[in-house]
Amino acid sequence: MRIAVIGSGYVGLVAGACFADLGHEVVLVDNDQQKLAALQAGRCPIHEQFLPELLDRHRGQRLQFTDNLQEAVRSSAAIFVAVGTPPTDQGDADLSYVESVAREISGAIDGYKIVVEKSTVPVYTSEWVRKIILRNGAPVDSFDVASNPEFLREGTGVTDFLYPDRIVVGADSERCAAVMREIYAPMTDGSYYKKHDAIPRPDRAQTPPPIIVTSTKSAELIKHASNAFLAMKISFINAVSSICESVGANVQQVCQGIGTDSRIGPRFLNPGIGYGGSCFPKDLMAFRAVARECGYDFRLLDEVIRINEEQRHRFLRKIRNALWTLRGKRIGILGLAFKGGTDDIRESPAILLVQSLLQEGCHLCAYDPAAIERTREVVGNKVEFATNAYDAAAGADALLILTDWEEFATLDLSELKRKMRYPIVIDGRNLYLPETMAARGFSYYSVGREPALADNQSTRASDNPQGATRKA
């Protein structure tokens, strides 16, 4: 099938490359000439596992790039809209890019086509897309609008697309649903997974994936409700970690105890410095705005957002408790992206902490395997950037671990200690065992666990953000 994907951001680029790998003829549309030139020259603009090899495999063959939207629409049976939906000042989704694309699509419909929402959009967007296309002259029976939300995690977007837990299709006609089933048939009939060059199957993936066909409104709500629930799970365990710190419990033991309950599960029960990225913060605000428009005060979402913001403030207090004063201190930073495996720093709690520490008068030396250039665009020369983790730690009064990159969990602790001015590690991702760090000569602070002090001093009340006395 010939497919047009409009928008070459994280979602559009991954979707286009994966559709091509499924065997479809894909044209990816963008009006950013610089990005198009980079893609046509063989460069991958984002850090995403397996994406460069898919682009190399299909570029110029099953995958083409263009800025001519109307020509792409005329030559395609399905048009996936994957443009940005940034939050407005009020917190709801800005759908102006979606509306603009819908207007352009209407002038190029010359036979039956389906227009598919791939961007994360609030409920009723499909109805508005249909109205816009009709207002601009498309015959009523010449198109259908579908919703096909993505559930991609940055850093594993390609495998998430090709090995999903489920495929959700919102379609209000059987004709539209049939086209969507055909698009995903190589996955749902299992034929893709038999290919010798298929992207490797990740752990826990079940093939073939189920396809869930719903109404368009239900599909739109599924996306927002899914992200809101996952964010709630993260905020919940972060709130629990605060209690653990107050009473001297170990949050990882608590996570194991509740995560083995099959009704709860262990995933997203990872305490840290809070969620970030382009999805959770934006989608929670948009979902809350939708609820308010419907007359429902979704106060649970307010609390999820509040806990997430408070988690960063708690971590900053933890740094102060470990160092006493911050002005003039040299601090090493490991991790700038909002999570490991990506170069995305949008709403990254690491970046927000970096900005807070700069305001405190700290000298920062930071390292991230992928996100340095994007961070440099935000902070300029206010931060020194290192080429590896050990150089970031050199001469540091303390080292902060802010992103869960795998390489940060396997550092040579002897070399790390030798590099630092003081062996103080404040770990926002709980990558190490406290007893291991103390045995190796570090004073180690983490989230939801008691500090482990190298000098065997008992923990003072000042080490506790709430001021509660804990055991040694």
Around 385, how many Cα atoms within 13 Å sit in the side-chain half-sphere? 17
**Cβ(217)–Cβ(294) below 8 Å:** no
- CA atoms of 82 and 72, how far apart (whole Å): 14
Short-list 44, 80, 75, 77, CA closest to 59: 44
Sign of the alpha-carbon dihedral angle for 411, 412, 416, 419: negative
User: What stretches of 72-142 adopt beta strand conformation (E)?
Assistant: 78-81, 113-117
Residue 169 in contact with residue 103, Cβ under 8 Å?
no
List, in order, residues 6 or more apart from 222 with CB less than 8 Å away.
Answer: 149, 168, 170, 214
In angstroms, the first-to-last Cα distance of the chain is 66
**Phi and psi for 117 in degrees, rounded to 5?**
-75, 115
Which active-site residues does the annotation give?
279
- Exposure string over 400-439, b if 16+ CB within 10 A, otherwise e: bbbbbbeebeebebeebbebbebbbbbbbbbbbebeebbe
Contact (CB, 8 A) for 102 and 301: no
From residue 316, alpha-carbon distances to 60, 108, 143, 326, 445 in Å are 49, 54, 53, 10, 12
